Structure 1
């Protein structure tokens, strides 16, 4: 029977999953290696016996193996298919990993010496247990129909297949062929099944144990073949042999689950590789999911309970904004930290829900990857009773006059020109902080007699460092006369004369702060504090002030949404007709702004 055939059991209504196939009367797991692993002369599949004739049980075991295999292969990323030498080396690393796992068993402390007689009796007990289990399972058909994926089918006699397996095992036993592989299979099977304890398998007895194991497997295959032919007398001597009752060892190898820190790292790597997370947002995404690790500690992901997640959410409600940085500096435990900052304003419900939803998203991904069976964080978001309009606090007219029009808001008051110009641009254009701080000099130009700011990701100057929040963020906004009068165009010209590409070249990104606008936002926050404007207002309040100016005048039209970088709500307005022209926007929208007057 060809090794790569897929099989479907007759008289079975359910088709086995793609990673299962039936060999003899036992299901096997198989994993088709990615092309990068398939080098000249190497195997194309990983195959493991699941030691069960029950399809439902085999499916569950195979699903778990599928997840573990995928994670293991992630540790050995392969080069392109033509890099045979490198791939051969990495496959050797994979085999070395398996050998290390075997050595961990053989070299575990506290070994117990077993006599050959004890080993034989224990294996007889294990054989008897398997025969008794299979005796009550559904009898498989005499034949199965297998296909090769190309539409070719043939009948396979299961008894003959079992005899062939027994013959191959006998060959290995007599010649020593594939003995290293047989040792691994023997030890992993016997210890994982609990037939032998880790302390009972040692370097002194592993060779003899493997030979006895092969002999037991040969007997098992021959008995299976005889049963399929209706001959139950063949197995009688095996039932009469001396045996020690099979009982799973207490310290058998447990099914390995990722720890939380391993899951977070794997999730992070895959999301970046898949392009699901933009580079500038990596820090935010990772901080949210690592919040769980900081609060509940590191533990196997299958042991994280619903109560753990409720406790996590409840703990977040007691923490202040910027708690991660403060916690790292404090050296306190979470409990001590909460006690110290109990009088501080806590995280907003919106922030808590963002964190909980990010963690829930990670667990949902882990479920899809068969790493866990359920999502303990699903549906744990808090109900936010505050209206959206209450969350967006614009600067009042008095605030705006106090900040910009009291006579002390001047360019020479700021060492960094961005600290002066960015708030003004936000006030008169409604642009987001990062949209302003990442501007290039070429993004400000004249079109049909009107100066404008072109908000875009592409550049002709060769510096590709701009990002947009959404597809609707790409837009052009006419420059208000007040900005021109204050010298914005003259400032741009000075930057061009100095051969600068970016409008605010003193702003920088770092790995920890992957946005140009962080320092500008911080400086504006200090300005608000200096002016005693501290009731939940920030740089983002400037964007809300721009919006509020048009809202109270009933001017939240499609034209406003185009300028503001929001999706046009009406379907016809989104899909039909051209965008509003720069002249229309300037005359009907921008020119009407009268802050500070």
Structure 2
């Protein structure tokens, strides 16, 4: 049986690692006394399921090593045998996780299962596309432990990758099911519940009419079908929105009674809900009816933008219901949501550019050097944002291969390849690197990482899977740092945040009278409705032209002396 994974978690520099001791009888063969692997997250909730899966995998490896030291090849039958054993151990480990984590509140259990569902959906995407990059490490370790030399281009290797990845999908799907309570008899652990044999009287009774589909059941089916096709951000955003809709309308509502009155009820309630109702102390333990009785102050309610985003997911689900013949017409229901919302919710002021005085405070050499230390992301991301106008996540998710030359011009290639995500189609662009960044050592930093075999420009930033972003840690750090430096809201209450670097870049370009069309291309803005039709036929500006006409004219280092005294202290890994 797989060992319990939670005892194998090690927190190192804010990142969880999986570690497991190699059994004494296998240490000489493996050449080490301990196995370690980064879980690439600083959140325990995300680290646990990953550690569980790794514990099951290593247990299977140890078992296989002891049982079969002379295996020379992996036949189809042997692959199936090993995968079956892995599934049994993985399910048993997940069952121990379920027992060890109790007692579970409904919200905690739902979140626990959702994490597994998301992991399963991610694994399914890889399996469906036959993308084995995420599983190869474990397959290679398996083959090494078996003492096998297998050509990585061979069909045997691909079959093993495919089988293990598919098994991972199945395990994650099973344990995320709301009815899963532990391994069944088919997993070789405990008997499955079976229905009693009917009595003669029961057998003689006519079959019962099939129960009508309910809104809650239809919603769960919608998520089950659609989640494997969604990207990571959608898998995070959509489920909570449609579940809220179902909670308001009623999970037990028959779809035949899902009418415009039900939609009006949802519309009324959602406009009176508070923002962050699951985290704010005043609301988090209350039901929606209890919250409605509180008459939430207008300034604490959901903003109109947030409400409209909820409507997107609700409309999408209703359209799916129609496509599946669950309801006759989604359009009639969706029309209820086509209303003009009254201005409500939080009013935090617009985001504004940093002043030169703000930049002097933020880039004070002593304070900035002490706070960024040798952490690459903290040092480089604010400076990159200031000299490119790029969004924080666009920079945080960059790969080293995105820093390359085009026509002898070094550029930052902002794209949506290899799992990266962008806000709009216009966000795909190439931004020339400012000479000042090269003077600070940016190209040397990227080159050093490449020599070390790294893949990402900021490997110190883990992916936060419940948001699908890499930038969370830097965003939190910068909020604290700028406040410590006395940079917060302006006199009119307008916000100054990391995104203000983007405003600062664009504002400076405007003050310098630079070409607006080129600027839009550099910052990834849509060209707008006022552009003539030929804009759709135009190609991108050459990087050399953007460098000369826009980038080289950005002069913050000439106006803010503190920038010239910054010193990157090296890579802390």
Contact kept in structure 1, 2:518 and 2:546, CA below 8 Å: yes
Q: Offset of 1:444 from its aligned partner? A: 1.8
Q: Distance in 1 between matches of 2:342 and 2:508?
A: 26
Q: Distance in 2 between matches of 1:204 and 1:490?
A: 79
The one of 561, 564, 570 aligned to 2:523: 564
Q: What are the within-5 Å matches in structure 2 for residues 118-197 of structure 1?
A: none
Contact kept in structure 1, 2:385 and 2:392, CA below 8 Å: yes
Instruction: Indicate the structure whose relative CO is greater, using CA pairs within 8 Å and at least 6 residues apart.
Output: 2
Query: Match for residue 378 of structure 1?
Result: 335
Contact kept in structure 2, 1:360 and 1:378, CA below 8 Å: no
Query: Match for residue 218 of structure 2?
Result: 263
Query: Match for residue 331 of structure 1?
Result: 285
Q: Which 10-residue stretch deviates more, 430-439 or 324-333?
A: 324-333
SS in 1 for 2:252: coil
Q: Distance in 2 between matches of 1:327 and 1:358?
A: 27
Contact kept in structure 2, 1:507 and 1:516, CA below 8 Å: yes
Q: What are the within-5 Å matches in structure 2 for residues 66-85 of structure 1?
A: none
Residues 338-396 of structure 1: CA deviation (Å, up to 9, x unaligned): 7497486332211111112321221122123221234434342553688xxx9852324
Q: Distance in 2 between matches of 1:286 and 1:434?
A: 23
Q: Offset of 1:441 from its aligned partner? A: 1.9
SS in 2 for 1:393: coil
Q: What are the within-5 Å matches in structure 2 for residues 284-295 of structure 1?
A: 284-295=237-248
Are 2:548 and 1:587 equivalent residues in the alignment? yes
Q: Distance in 1 between matches of 2:442 and 2:497?
A: 23
For structure 2, the residue ranges without an aligned partner over 5 or more in a row are 1-194, 560-573
Contact kept in structure 2, 1:399 and 1:533, CA below 8 Å: no
Residues 499-547 of structure 1: CA deviation (Å, up to 9, x unaligned): 3221110111243232112222233333344435254443333323333
Query: Match for residue 282 of structure 1?
Result: 235
Are 2:433 and 1:479 equivalent residues in the alignment? yes
Q: Offset of 1:301 from its aligned partner? A: 4.8
Q: Distance in 1 between matches of 2:505 and 2:243?
A: 36
Structure 1 residues 449 and 203: alpha-carbon distance in aligned structure 2, compared to 1, 3 A threshold: closer
For structure 1, the residue ranges without an aligned partner over 5 or more in a row are 1-102, 108-200, 211-251, 459-463
Contact kept in structure 1, 2:260 and 2:336, CA below 8 Å: no
Structure 1 residues 270 and 588: alpha-carbon distance in aligned structure 2, compared to 1, 3 A threshold: same
What's the TM-score, normalizing by structure 1? 0.51
Q: What are the within-5 Å matches in structure 2 for residues 501-516 of structure 1?
A: 501-516=455-470
Number of residue equivalences: 349
Query: Match for residue 349 of structure 1?
Result: 304
Q: Distance in 1 between matches of 2:468 and 2:246?
A: 23
Structure 1 residues 514 and 551: alpha-carbon distance in aligned structure 2, compared to 1, 3 A threshold: same
Residues 383-428 of structure 1: CA deviation (Å, up to 9, x unaligned): 3688xxx985232425742553444552441364213322221222
Structure 1 residues 331 and 367: alpha-carbon distance in aligned structure 2, compared to 1, 3 A threshold: same
Residues 89-118 of structure 1: CA deviation (Å, up to 9, x unaligned): xxxxxxxxxxxxxx99988xxxxxxxxxxx
Q: What are the within-5 Å matches in structure 2 for residues 113-512 of structure 1?
A: 202-203=201-202, 205-206=204-205, 253=209, 256-260=212-216, 262-273=217-228, 275=229, 277-302=230-255, 303-326=257-280, 330-336=284-290, 339=294, 342=297, 345-375=300-330, 376-381=333-338, 383=340, 393-397=351-355, 400-401=358-359, 403-408=361-366, 410-414=368-372, 416-458=375-417, 464-512=418-466
Contact kept in structure 2, 1:327 and 1:337, CA below 8 Å: no
Structure 1 residues 571 and 525: alpha-carbon distance in aligned structure 2, compared to 1, 3 A threshold: same
Structure 1 residues 430 and 268: alpha-carbon distance in aligned structure 2, compared to 1, 3 A threshold: farther
Q: Offset of 1:442 from its aligned partner? A: 2.5
SS in 2 for 1:322: coil
Larger radius of gyration: 1
SS in 1 for 2:525: coil
Structure 1 residues 259 and 343: alpha-carbon distance in aligned structure 2, compared to 1, 3 A threshold: closer
